[in-house]
Structure 1
Amino acid sequence: MSFNLNQWFAENVSENTLFYYKGSVGTERVTKILEKIEAIMDEKKFPLRERKKILNIFIELVQNLYHHGERFEIDNTFKSYGCIIFNTVDHGVEIISANFIKIERLKVFTDYIDHTNSMGTKDLNALYRKVLSNKHFSDKGGGGLGIINMIRKSGNKLKYCSKRTEGDNFFLVLTVKI
């Protein structure tokens, strides 16, 4: 059975969804998404400390979509394509981010998540300082701080799954619970 983006999206948007978006992720869209999230948190009267965590993680996730999302195979008019869903869950919120990723990047990315997820607070903070002082960046401009930051800020491990699509892409779903 082939992957169906619209079906996946419909299955992940529910009555607990505060915000959702799917489509092209460019600089203007990034700004609009973040402004909308701030407005939702203001309207729902999220505590300031929680708002800061959520916004920080949203920034990381939306930047990931912008910098690392691949073209949507069905419609190549999008430079980079992504989905983001903001849900309320028991005792908090979750942010689901999803984008297409080339098969050769998938293993590197998921291995890095597994590695950082396996670390305790002390080791994670040491890795953060090491990466921060390291001047090595990927070809897309990232240094790996986003994943580390999301784990540190959320206090939770990142969850991910991937679905094979047509062509040489996978659909990668990353979930952060706060």
Structure 2
Amino acid sequence: MAYIEHFSVKTFKQQLSERQISLAFQGIFSQDVLALIGKSLRNTQESRVIAKRLFAIVIEMAQNIHHYSAEKQYSEKDARDIGVGIVAIAEDDDHYIITSGNCIIKTEVPPLIERANYINGLDADELKKFYREQRKMPQREGKPGANLGFIDMVRKSGNPVEINIKDYDETRSFFILSVKVNKEL
């Protein structure tokens, strides 16, 4: 209760505005939440192409959270555990920045960093080829599209993915993923 007493909606709104955050969500990423995010993005003043790219990247991030978050909550509607995380969209004059965050098991950190670095080092043709190769690979641990998310985000945004890892507790890290989408096509 003490937290609520010190929380100011006005201050929070000012902070969101100062950082030009147009959308922020924290919780479980169900189909209903994704539908609301999609509706919000369709109502942006940007072109349909940019809005579609933003939504596609948000979907990729939400799927990463859904499948790989070390923190899960039970969804009554879906009758299963769903990953918990955060997604936010900020913008400035030239681009949008889509950021997600969720807990992951610490042993997953090195392969994530290695994969992101590898994908960030590929040019457009190499990305396309690598994407095709990965689509042919068997699913990892029964998770559909495993390994395609980073590739897809880089291809859709035209920019590298940025990863930041913070210690969370003894066994988990907090994984922050950011992607910049230029407003100019």
Whether these two folds match at TM > 0.5 is yes
Q: Which residue of 1 aligns with 2:118?
A: 115
1:56 equivalent in alignment to 2:60: no
Distance 1:164 1:101 in 2: 10
Q: Deviations over 1:139-170 (max 9, x none)?
A: 15143111100000000000110100112000
Distance 2:151 2:44 in 1: 28
Q: Which residue of 1 aligns with 2:30?
A: 30
* TM-score, structure 1 normalization: 0.81
1:43 equivalent in alignment to 2:43: yes
Q: Is the CA contact (8 Å cut-off) linking 2:41 and 2:55 kept in structure 1? A: no
RMSD of the TM alignment (CA)?
Answer: 2.0
% identical equivalent positions: 22
Q: Which residue of 1 aligns with 2:8?
A: none
* TM-score, structure 2 normalization: 0.78
Larger of the two Rg values belongs to structure:
2
Distance 2:170 2:24 in 1: 26
Question: CA distance change for structure 1 residues 146 and 102 in 2, over 3 Å: closer, same or farther?
Answer: same
Q: Is the CA contact (8 Å cut-off) linking 2:42 and 2:48 kept in structure 1? A: no
**Structure 1 unaligned runs (5+)?**
1-9
**Structure 2 unaligned runs (5+)?**
1-11, 75-80
Q: Deviations over 1:76-123 (max 9, x none)?
A: 777532111111123121110000010111111111011000111111
Q: Which residue of 1 aligns with 2:158?
A: 155
Q: Deviations over 1:27-73 (max 9, x none)?
A: xx43233222222223333211111111111111101000000127x
Counterpart amino acid of residue 30 in structure 1: S
Q: Which residue of 1 aligns with 2:77?
A: none
1:88 equivalent in alignment to 2:91: yes
Distance 1:83 1:140 in 2: 24
Q: Which has the higher strand share?
A: 2
Q: Which residue of 2 aligns with 1:102?
A: 105
Distance 2:91 2:71 in 1: 29
Q: Which residue of 2 aligns with 1:69?
A: 69
Distance 2:142 2:58 in 1: 19
Q: Is the CA contact (8 Å cut-off) linking 1:65 and 1:81 kept in structure 2? A: yes
Counterpart amino acid of residue 54 in structure 2: I
Q: Which residue of 2 aligns with 1:14?
A: 16
1:173 equivalent in alignment to 2:145: no
Q: Is the CA contact (8 Å cut-off) linking 1:113 and 1:158 kept in structure 2? A: yes
